[in-house]
Structure 1
Amino acid sequence: MIHGDVLRVFDLLEGRAHNASEGTESGYFVEIARADRPGIYLGVSQAGEKTFIVTSEQSQVPPPPLRLASIAVDYGIECQLREATSSRLVRVTVIRCLANEPGIIDVFTAMCAVLANSFNDRVTEREVAEELRRWSTLFWRLQERVETDVVGISGELVAIAASPNPDLWISAWHSRPNDLLDFIFDEAQVSVEVKATRSGKRRHTFSLDQIQTTGSLSRYVASVPVQFAESGESLADLIREISDRLNNDTSRLKLWEALSQVCGAGLEDVLARKFDVLAAKAGLAFFSADDIPSPVVERPFPTGVSRVSFHVDLDGVESFDSQYLDGLILV
Structure 2
Amino acid sequence: MKILKHFKSLEIPKQGRKIFNAISLKDFPFAKVAKNNDGFPVILIESKIDNTFLTQKNIRLKYLELNHNLECKITENGKTDFANYSVITFKSGEEVLQSYYFGIVENLLKELSKKPTQKEVFETFKGFIEVFRALSNSPKTTIQGLWSELLLIETSKNPEILVNYWHNRPEEKFDFNADTEKIEVKSSSNMERIHIFTSEQLNAPKEKKVLIASVFAKQSSNGRSISDLLNSILVSLNEDSLIEKLYSIVSNTLGSSLEQGLKIKFDYDIAKNSLRFYDSELISKIEKINIPNNVSEVKYKSDLTNIKPIDPIIIKSNELLFKSLKTTP
State TM-score, norm by structure 2: 0.85
Partner of 1:29: 21
The correspondence for 1:251, drawn from 237, 242, 265, is 242
Per-residue CA deviations over 1:237-267 (Å, capped at 9, x if unaligned) read: 2222223332222122211221222211111
In 2, distance between residues paired with 1:128 and 1:287? 46
Counterpart of 1:225? Answer: 216
Tell me whether 1:238 sits opposite 2:229 in the alignment: yes
Report the Cα distance in structure 1 between the residues aligned to 2:239 and 2:81, rounded to whole angstroms: 34
Alpha carbons of structure 1 residues 147 and 86: separation in structure 2 relative to 1, 3 Å: closer
Determine if contact 1:34/1:116 at 8 Å carries over to the other structure.
no
Question: Displacement, 1:154?
Answer: 1.8
Structure-2 change in CA distance of 1:303 and 1:271 (3 Å): same
**Residue 315 of structure 1 corresponds to which residue in structure 2?**
305
Does residue 305 of structure 1 match 2:295? yes
More helix, by proportion: 1
CA distance in 2, matches of 1:73, 1:221: 42
Q: Which residue of 2 aligns with 1:96?
A: 89
Cα deviations across residues 34-84 of structure 1 (Å, max 9, x unaligned)? Answer: 33x322221223541101111101123323322212111122234455555
Please tell me the residue identity of whatever aligns with 2:68. Y
Which amino acid is the alignment partner of residue 2 of structure 2?
D
Runs of 5+ in structure 1 lacking a partner?
none
2:147 corresponds, among 154, 160, 175, to: 154
Task: Letter of the 2:122 partner, please give it.
Answer: A
Deviations 1:262-305 (A, max 9, x none): 21111112222111022212211112222323344526x32542
Find the aligned partners of 2:183 and 2:78 in 1 and give their Cα distance.
58
Q: 1:72 to 1:26 in 2, by over 3 A?
A: closer
> Counterparts of 1:1-331 in structure 2 under 5 Å?
4-13=1-10, 17=11, 27-35=19-27, 37-45=28-36, 47-62=38-53, 63-79=56-72, 84=77, 90-102=83-95, 104-146=97-139, 148-174=141-167, 176-186=169-179, 189-214=180-205, 216-298=207-289, 301-321=291-311, 328-329=322-323
26 and 89 in structure 1: CA distance in 2 versus 1, 3 angstrom threshold: closer
How far 1:182 sits from its partner (Å)?
Answer: 0.8
Code of the residue aligned with 2:296 in structure 1: it is: S
Deviations 1:170-189 (A, max 9, x none): 22111534321111024xx3
Q: Indicate the larger mover: 80-89 or 191-200.
A: 80-89
Q: Do the aligned partners of 1:103 and 1:267 also contact (CA within 8 Å) in 2? A: no
SS in 1 for 2:98: helix
Task: Quote the sequence identity (%).
Answer: 24
Task: Name the CA distance, whole Å, in 2 between partners of 1:197 and 1:203.
Answer: 7
Structure 1 residues 138, 324: closer, same or farther in 2, change over 3 A? farther
Q: How far 1:25 moved relative to its partner?
A: 11
Deviation string for 1:109-130 (max 9, x for gaps)? 1221112211121111121111
Contact 1:142 1:260 in 2 (8 A): yes
Number of residue pairs matched?
319
Gaps of 5+ in 2: 325-329
In structure 2, relative to structure 1, the CA distance for the partners of 1:198 and 1:218 (3 Å cut) is same
Aligned residue identity for 1:168: I
Q: Deviations over 1:121-150 (max 9, x none)?
A: 111112111111111111111012336322
Counterpart code for 2:184: E
- Using the size of structure 1 for normalisation, the TM-score is 0.85
The 1:114–1:153 alpha-carbon spacing in structure 2 relative to 1, beyond 3 Å, is same
DSSP 3-state at the match of 1:173: coil
Per the alignment, in what secondary structure is the counterpart of residue 278 of structure 2?
A: strand
Q: Matched residues in 1 for 2:57 and 2:21: separation? A: 26
DSSP-derived class of the 1:272 partner: coil
